């Protein structure tokens, strides 16, 4: 069985149970809303990423959300005194 196949099936079943009239059409899930159909295709990601990681600022940790959009607080990371000295040394050497 392909990686993520069982997980995809769980998501498909949630969609079908959530949206009345939704159905599977080939490899797609179709969700009828008003006079249109929303087409959903699912693929398993090759690499896991953090929610908000694409917009996070350096040195900050983005909030992580679970499947129910509940924010999970992450511990803030602080540089050690030695790391701060090393970075300052590199900044001086590079003339920044």
pTM: 0.52
Residue carrying the six token digits 């949206």: 19
CB-based contacts of 73, cutoff 8 Å, min separation 6: 63
Question: What confidence tens digit (pLDDT) does each residue in 12-35 have?
Answer: 999 999 999 999 999 999 999 999
Task: Judge whether residue 1 has pLDDT over 70.
Answer: no
């Amino acid at each position: 069985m392909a990686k993520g196949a069982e997980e995809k099936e769980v998501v498909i079943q949630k969609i079908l149970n959530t949206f009345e009239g939704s159905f599977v059409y080939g490899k797609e899930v179709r969700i009828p809303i008003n006079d249109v159909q929303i087409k959903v295709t699912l693929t398993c990601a090759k690499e896991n990423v953090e929610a908000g990681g694409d917009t996070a600022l350096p040195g900050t940790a983005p909030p992580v959300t679970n499947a129910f959009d509940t924010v999970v607080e992450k511990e803030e990371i602080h540089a050690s005194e030695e790391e701060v000295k090393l970075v300052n040394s590199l900044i001086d050497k590079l003339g920044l």
